[in-house]
Structure 1
Amino acid sequence: MDVFFEWLQTKIGDELSDITLFGIFGMLVYLAKLFYKYFEKCKNEKDLFPFYDNSILKNSRKFFIRTKCQNIDPANEINFRSSYAFVTKEDMLNFFIKKVFKLKENETNFYIVLGDSGMGKTTFMLNLFYSYNTYLNSIFKKTRIKLLPLGENLDSIELHLNNISLEDRKNTILLLDGLDESPILNFSANELVEKLTTIAKDFRIVIISCRTHFFSSENDEPYELKIRKFNTNGNGYQVIKKLYVSPFDEKDIKKYLNKKFGILSFSKIREAKEIINYTDDLMVRPMLLSYIEDVMKSSKKVKLSCEIYELLIIKWIERESNKYQTSNKFDFQNDLFYFSIHVANTIYENFEKNGLFISNEEMKRLAIEFNINLDLLEMKSRSLLNRDSKGNYKFSHKSIFEYLLAYNCYRNRFVDKSQVYHIDYDLSLFDQALKFYDEMQINFKSSFHFNDERFISFHSGNNVMSNLKFEELMQLKHSKTEVEWLDGKTYRIIDVQEEILTKKSKFFPFTEKV
């Protein structure tokens, strides 16, 4: 019996030793993983500085579905979903990391990634940076990667690039995000491309992202650059390769919903799919799909893109107002909406100087005017406002800013005796704002979510359509109408019954808060 107990004690001791060793090994692996993540974070912070930080990188990866690309513009199709059978798509991360970046000699070192608003161009650029800039990758490869936002002042971008030595440029991949957000207004799209590519000509590879509609047509999209080839065979100038971001297909949407709600959340996923089908091809844009939960919680059905943006702003205001007592919520909601309108106006007025940013000083001035505590505004992934490392602010997506511009112009429009409509801002500078405005006008949008009982009426009268008889308004809505822009601030409505439009033409302007 004693022998048995000795054997048992020895056996247990051996097992405990194995468990202890396994525990120590597991702890070492865990600590190694923590150290690796820490060093990777420090490296990313260093390489992203001063224009981004690691939190932006982290948010971009949270529900990321790998971006696909194609060489045919999806906008050429009737709608995005009809393009699936007619193009060949490729994983864009693999295309650059496994093909382009591995080539010792490229036919060209310039690429432009084109896509419509909300198609995930910035998210792709952030994930391309992260995927290539892993800590282990940087140890074994000499080539570095740098990401810069073109919404910043171009002089700051040029100064930042000039501080990189010529030798380092030859071993650096340069990502330039948001060509259409550049604040230089006196340059045409192609002139801006030429200026940027001249500044960046010494970098190993340059990838620029831009909205497709920044160029007036596909023929205007850059192809041959005025940078003479010196280090390649043949004569001529550099060529810029074009890639188009592919819209989400059914598989991408399914992957996103599974990540968003969890693969076992059958009822939520089913409800989300019903909304996606109802909104046609709007939700194949990753930016809008990211707000699917807000749309699901709304009692209002949305069909137009301007209605989705209206809903996004409402939900953001509601979330922010939850920090306040019930008695103060109503006032705060109105203040925050007015504040947002004026932030958009200020950005527009200073766009050529500051791009899409509003200075910290100007933001504080508006915050005091509209009783907004900036310290209480959450700058998280679902916020509509972001703050950079310098304390300057911008809307989380350019299209939010453009919606507020279009909304303000539409609510303040007036029509003269010759049936020419006038608006306050030149929307020709912002393609998505024009789309929002056309959508509101063609659908004769007369009611806004902002006008319900939670929000005060922002005008002292009714809009140009609201005094018409119900039958006349219905007749107008079902007529074929188009907006014919005379310039960026004036337009006509064509293919409608003129005698109805001339009955009531006065529109009361936006009433400022007293």
Structure 2
Amino acid sequence: MSKVEAGLITPVVIGGAKYLQTKYATRQLKKRFKEDPYTPPEVKKRAANKRAVYVRPDCQDNNPVNTEFDPSRRGIFHELDLIIGEPILSRLTFILADTGMGKSTFLDRYYAYHWGSLTRSKKFRLVSVPLPGLDIDAFVSRFDADAIIETVILFDSLDEDPLASENFSRRLEEIVGVAGKFRAVVVTCRTQFLTDASVVPDQIDLQNVTGPMGLSYPADQK
């Protein structure tokens, strides 16, 4: 065998092995997704498709255009791990970014990242749902009491939600209500959508989740 032939065969073998490895990992991930009956099929399909190269983004606490504060950039995967892990640092988290910055892609990738780990998925359930037009009451009613307290909800695209555009305060109240019942809620939104800071309270008080709760759990304090 010539050196040229050997050089051609080696990349083919490596490429074939990587293809089979990726295909197997995708098949296993889809099996894990079956443990989540709440996330829509289209979200699961996107999350399972990891063929495109993805660079995990960073995050920070303040608007990047505001130079008065130290940006303190951190990896967003690790940061969200800390926020919704043990102990929970926040029951309601907003992820803000400009249009086209990859908010939905991040949720898809994080959803796959969570369910791809046996250790993480045993600690709590992760559910990802597009928020636009979602009937939140009907959505919540699908969960039994035990499932509620061990589930983190990812609500995507608050800025594209017609119900939020029509009455933001009411929609926010519904989201806060979900956060008061579930383990935690994470919401993505376009930064410019929340330009009116007066509609977003500085602090939201949520009741402690200490055990299974029925859907008739008392309303949370706002």
User: How far is the alpha carbon of 1:114 from its aligned partner?
Assistant: 0.9
Q: Is the 8 A contact 2:96 2:188 kept in 1?
A: yes
Q: Which residue number in structure 2 is paired with residue 94 of structure 1? A: 78
Structure 1 stretches of 4+ moved >4 Å: 30-36, 58-61
Q: What TM-score, normalized by structure 1, do the two folds share? A: 0.34
Q: Which residue number in structure 1 is paired with residue 128 of structure 2? A: 147
The one-letter code matched in structure 1 to 2:105 is T
1:43–1:214 Cα change, 3 Å:
same
- Identity, % of aligned positions: 24
1:49–1:174 Cα change, 3 Å:
closer
Q: Which residue number in structure 1 is paired with residue 33 of structure 2? A: 44
Q: Which residue number in structure 2 is paired with residue 134 of structure 1? A: 116
Q: Deviations over 1:233-282 (max 9, x none)?
A: xxx957xxxxxxxxxxxxxxxxxxxxxxxxxxxxxxxxxxxxxxxxxxxx
2:101 pairs with 1:119:
yes
The structure whose residues are more often helix, as a share, is 1
Q: Which residue number in structure 2 is paired with residue 186 of structure 1? A: 166
User: How far is the alpha carbon of 1:69 from its aligned partner?
Assistant: 0.8
User: How far is the alpha carbon of 1:137 from its aligned partner?
Assistant: 3.1
Could you tell me which runs of 5 or more consecutive residues in structure 2 were left unpaired when the two chains were aligned.
Answer: 1-16, 211-219
Secondary structure, aligned partner of 1:173: strand
The one-letter code matched in structure 2 to 1:72 is N
Q: Deviations over 1:403-445 (max 9, x none)?
A: xxxxxxxxxxxxxxxxxxxxxxxxxxxxxxxxxxxxxxxxxxx
Greater C-alpha Rg: 1
Correspondence 1:115-514 to 2 at 5 A = 115-137=97-119, 141-151=122-132, 153-155=133-135, 157-184=136-163, 185-188=165-168, 190-225=169-204, 227-230=205-208
Q: Which residue number in structure 2 is paired with residue 64 of structure 1? A: 54
* Partner Cα separation in structure 1 for residue 57 and residue 66 of structure 2: 19
Q: Is the 8 A contact 1:51 1:149 kept in 2?
A: no
1:40–1:107 Cα change, 3 Å:
closer
Secondary structure, aligned partner of 1:224: coil
Q: Deviations over 1:1-23 (max 9, x none)?
A: xxxxxxxxxxxxxxxxxxxxxxx
1:136–1:123 Cα change, 3 Å:
same
Q: Deviations over 1:213-252 (max 9, x none)?
A: 1123345444323x543459xxx957xxxxxxxxxxxxxx
Q: Is the 8 A contact 1:45 1:54 kept in 2?
A: no
**Matched residue pairs, number?**
194
Q: Is the 8 A contact 2:155 2:186 kept in 1?
A: yes
* Partner Cα separation in structure 2 for residue 51 and residue 161 of structure 1: 18
The one-letter code matched in structure 1 to 2:85 is K
User: How far is the alpha carbon of 1:35 from its aligned partner?
Assistant: 5.3
1:135–1:75 Cα change, 3 Å:
same
User: How far is the alpha carbon of 1:176 from its aligned partner?
Assistant: 0.5
The one-letter code matched in structure 2 to 1:41 is K
The one-letter code matched in structure 2 to 1:73 is N
Q: Is the 8 A contact 2:95 2:189 kept in 1?
A: yes
Q: Is the 8 A contact 2:152 2:182 kept in 1?
A: yes
Q: Deviations over 1:351-386 (max 9, x none)?
A: xxxxxxxxxxxxxxxxxxxxxxxxxxxxxxxxxxxx
The one-letter code matched in structure 2 to 1:115 is A
* Partner Cα separation in structure 2 for residue 202 and residue 61 of structure 1: 36
Could you tell me which runs of 5 or more consecutive residues in structure 1 were left unpaired when the two chains were aligned.
Answer: 1-26, 78-82, 239-514
User: How far is the alpha carbon of 1:115 from its aligned partner?
Assistant: 1.2
